[in-house]
C-alpha cells in the first residue's frame, strides 16, 4: 500500500476522528462508531472503507460481529522513512517538551 | 496526552512485496529474525518457539503452525523480568497473498487480560518489528543498518 493512500485517508477530518475513536478503544463495531458521528451509516462505512484500503484500519470477525481495529503500522512506515534511529531521540525530546509546556500552560 | 487503557486485543498489519513463503521463513528462521526482532534469534522446533538473546533463552508453546499461512503461539515477555511475571498471552501471524506479488501479514496479539503491562508496552515494539521485517524482505538489509 502506497503512502499516497495513507496521506489521502488522513487528509479528512471525519476519518481522523474515526481513528481517534479507535485509538481510545479498539475493536469497535460499525454501529458503535456510527452512534458517535452525525452521519449516515452509509457515510461512515465509506470512510471506514477508505481507512481500510489505506491499511489504517483492519477488520476481524468475532462471532457475528465485524470489529474495527486501528493499525498504526502505515504511520510508523512514514515515520521510518524520514526519521532514523539517530534523529528519533531529538524528535522525541522536542515532542515531549511541547507536550510538557502545553499541559502546564 | 490522554491516558488510555491498553487494549487486550491488538492488531497490526503490513503489506510486504514478498511471497508468503519468504514471509514465513523470515518469521521462523533465526538468521532472519535476529536482523529485525531486537536481535532475538527465533526458531520453531518440536512444537515450541525457541528464542535466544545474548545469554538469555526462553521458549513458548506453538498452538498452530500451517506453513506458509498461519502461526499461533504463546507470548511471554521474557526480555523484561517485570513483564515476564505476567500471564502468557497469544500471538497469531496470518500470511495472505494479495495481487501483484504482495503479501499481507497480520499480527494479532490477544489474551492480554492477564498481562496489562505487556499490553501497554508491546505496541511500539510490534510497529518496529513489522517495519523492520518489511524493509529486510524488500531491500535485503535491516532497517537503519
Give the model confidence (pLDDT) of B25-58 as tens digits: 999 999 999 999 999 999 999 999 999 998 899 9
C-alpha B7/C-alpha A58 separation (Å) is 15
Helices (H), chain A: 3-10, 13-24, 30-34, 41-53, 73-82, 88-104
B12·A71 Cβ contact <8 A: yes
Select from A26, A28, A71 the least CA-distant residue to A51.
A71
Kindly provide the ipTM of the predicted complex, given to two decimals: 0.81
What's the confidence (pLDDT) of residue A87? 83
Q: How far does B94 lie from chain A, in Å, by closest CA?
A: 12
Alpha carbons B47 and B56: distance in angstroms, whole number:
20
Grade residue A105 by pLDDT with cuts at 50, 70 and 90: low
CB contact under 8 A, B134 and A77: yes
Mean pLDDT of chain A: 91
Cβ contacts (< 8 Å) between B131 and chain A: which residues? Answer: 73, 76-77, 80
pLDDT computed for residue B145 by the predictor: 53
pLDDT at A45: 96
Task: Give B128's contacts in chain A (Cβ within 8 Å).
Answer: 76
Quote the CA–CA distance of A80 and B58 in Å, as a whole number: 30
**Predicted confidence band of residue B9 (pLDDT cuts 50, 70, 90):** very high
Q: Which residues pair with B65 in a beta bridge?
A: B71
> For residue A92, what pLDDT is reported?
87
Residue A24 sits at the chain B interface (C-beta within 8 Å):
yes
Candidate from A1, A25, A76 with C-beta closest to B15: A1
All three cell numbers of B89:
498471552
Which residues in chain B have Cβ-Cβ distances shorter than 8 Å to A71? 11-13
What phi and psi, each to the nearest 5 degrees, are found at residue B135?
A: -60, -45
Cα dist from A66 to A11, A28, B94, B145, whole Å: 25, 8, 17, 39
Half-sphere exposure of B114 (CA within 13 A, CB side): 11
Query: How does pLDDT run across A61-101, given as a tens digit for each residue?
Result: 989 999 999 999 999 999 888 887 778 888 888 888 988 89
Who wins on pLDDT, B3 or B133?
B133
Partner B contacted by A98 (CB < 8 A)? no
B107 pLDDT more than 50: yes
Amino acid at each position: 500500500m502506497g503512502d499516497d493512500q495513507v496521506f489521502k485517508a488522513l487528509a479528512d477530518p471525519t476519518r481522523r476522528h474515526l481513528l481517534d475513536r479507535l485509538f481510545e478503544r479498539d475493536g469497535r463495531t460499525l454501529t458503535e462508531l456510527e452512534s458517535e458521528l452525525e452521519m449516515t451509516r452509509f457515510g461512515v462505512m465509506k470512510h471506514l472503507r477508505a481507512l481500510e484500503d489505506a491499511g489504517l484500519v483492519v477488520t476481524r470477525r468475532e462471532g457475528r460481529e465485524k470489529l474495527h481495529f486501528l493499525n498504526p503500522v502505515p504511520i510508523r512506515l512514514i515515520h521510518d522513512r524520514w526519521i532514523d534511529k539517530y534523529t528519533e531521540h531529538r524528535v522525541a525530546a522536542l515532542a515531549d517538551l511541547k507536550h510538557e509546556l502545553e499541559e502546564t500552560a | 496526552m490522554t491516558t488510555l487503557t491498553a487494549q487486550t486485543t491488538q492488531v497490526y498489519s503490513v503489506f510486504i512485496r514478498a511471497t508468503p513463503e519468504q514471509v514465513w521463513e523470515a518469521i521462523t528462521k533465526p538468521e532472519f529474525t535476529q536482523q529485525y526482532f531486537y536481535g532475538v534469534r527465533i526458531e520453531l522446533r518440536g512444537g515450541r518457539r525457541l528464542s535466544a538473546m545474548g545469554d538469555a533463552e526462553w521458549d513458548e508453546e506453538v498452538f498452530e503452525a500451517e506453513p506458509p499461512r498461519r502461526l499461533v503461539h504463546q507470548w511471554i515477555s521474557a526480555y523484561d523480568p517485570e513483564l515476564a511475571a505476567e500471564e502468557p498471552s497469544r500471538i497469531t501471524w496470518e500470511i495472505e497473498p494479495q495481487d501483484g506479488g504482495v503479501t499481507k501479514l497480520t499480527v494479532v496479539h490477544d489474551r492480554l487480560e492477564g498481562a496489562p503491562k505487556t499490553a501497554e508496552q508491546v505496541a511500539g515494539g510490534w510497529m518496529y518489528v513489522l517495519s523492520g521485517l518489511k524493509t529486510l524482505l524488500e531491500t535485503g538489509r535491516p532497517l537503519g543498518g
